[in-house]
Structures are given as C-alpha cells and as structure tokens.
Amino acid sequence: MISYPNAKINLGLNILRKRVDGFHEIESAFYPIPWTDILEIVPDDSSKGSVVFTSTGIEIPKSGKPNLCEQVYFIMTEKYALPSVKMHLHKTVPIGAGLGGGSADAAFAAKMLNELFELQLSLVELEAIVSTVGSDCPFFIQNKPAFVTGRGEKLAPIKLDLSGLWMVLVNPNIHVGTAVAYAGITPREPELSSKKILEKDIASWRESVTNDFEESIFASHPDIKEIKNNLYKVGAVYASMTGSGSTVYGLFEMHPANLIFSSTYMTKIVQL
C-alpha cells in the first residue's frame, strides 16, 4: 500500500502562554498543501510485532529513537497485535522546516495500518493514537483546514478556502530548532483571535495575520526575512514564515513570475 503524506502551512501563529507541563499554548490555522512524501507499507506475515523501516530522499537525522512512523506502528501493534511490516519512506518535504512533514508521515502510517489490517478505527481513535507521538499529528488524520489550539492538537473547523491561489514555498536550508525558536518568544494574548481575522478577505491579512516566531527568528536569520520581503515585491497578496521556520511561503492570485532566489534555496510552486 502506498500513500502520499502532504505538508501543511500555518496561517497565523500566536503563542499565548507557557503551560505548567512545559509546553506552550498556541492558536493557529493549519492548511494542507500539495507537497508530499511517499510512504509504502507492506505486511510481513512471517512474524508479529516488528517493523523494518528504510528511507530515501532527504536524509532523516539520526536521533537514536525510532522514526515517527515506527512509533505509530509500535503503539498500534501493542493494542491490536499487528503482523510485522516493512515501511519505506521517500522524503521530499524538508525536515524541521515548519511544514509538518514528519507529523504527516506518522498520521498517514496510522491510516494505512488501519486500512491494511481492517481495524475499523474511527477518526477520533486514530487522532488519539497519533497525538501520543506529536502535537501536529492529529491534524493530518482528517487533513482539512482547521483552527488549532492547545499544543496544536485541539482542532476546530474554520471557514478557509484558498483553492485556485498559487503558493510559492522557499526553504533556505536553515534549521531552526524548536527550543531556540521558543526561547525568543514572549507569550501574549492577541487583541483579536486570528480565527476571526482569517475568515475575512485575504487582502486584509498582511497587517493582521502574524507569526509570533518571525520577530526573533528574522533578527537572528535576516536571510529568512529577506525571502518574505522578496515575495511581497513580486506580488504576493500574503506572505509568512510557517511554524517556527525556516520555510517562508507567499500566496499569489496568478502564477508568479520573476522569482529570483539563491540557488542554495529549495523553491516549490504549487496551485492550491
């Protein structure tokens, strides 16, 4: 079985407060975009409870822990005694780039295992499983635009449709660690919830839909700020860094032209 785990962007990102558990309370909108990895899972009926994981494409950093896809498998096989499987992940979505690629891989792995072994788990049950491996993972189960709160795991519908727009995504190959990103943040409550702003016309977003990470990250990485400025110069109706960076995206009403970025950057253009 093969699937295509897609990335997401953040539309607005407010850091509201630090929680007693050490995490931060946020509000943001997640929007799925057509930039995908490729994930294959095949059963190995010779045994139960083991997984062979391989990957190609963008190199996945070694952390000493199982990949998120493997972690999902271990959680599900503990509950449902799954047969052994082989997983192969081809990475094209940049890692640590604010695009949720790893979270998407984990969520799609859960959906594939559910289908492959006919577990008949509900969307709510799948969301609960993947929430244990990452805050962003539950979003990718339904994979629809959502307003997110809590650590990013609480999802609510939002009236948000960007279909027909063009998006330019630029990743400057700068890794911004999550801990470093949060260290530069002073949590604060916004005057107006970004949900209400995002449900207005996109032309009003430029001055009012903000990513709280930008101020400190732009100060330490001016190249990322320059990407955003350049997207506006070539006609973006809205541009922002996604997540804690370092990917920056711009939304365009027509196919963008005259784009000039460093050859060391990864640039992708998609139609939503």
140 vs 105: CA distance, rounded Å: 9
Q: Are 209 and 201 in contact (CB under 8 A)?
A: no
Give the pair of three-digit tokens for residue 7. 């990335």
Half-sphere exposure at residue 33, Cβ-oriented, CA atoms within 13 angstroms: 28
- Helices 68-80 and 101-116: crossing angle in degrees, nearest 10, is 30
Residue 105 catalytic?
no
Residue 161 catalytic?
no
**Selected catalytic residue, list 105, 136, 212, 268:** 136
Give the pair of three-digit tokens for residue 88. 């192969």
Q: In which region does residue 120 sit, left (phi positive, over 0), alpha (psi from -120 to 50) or beta (all else)? A: left
238 vs 64: CA distance, rounded Å: 39
Please list the active-site residues: 8, 136
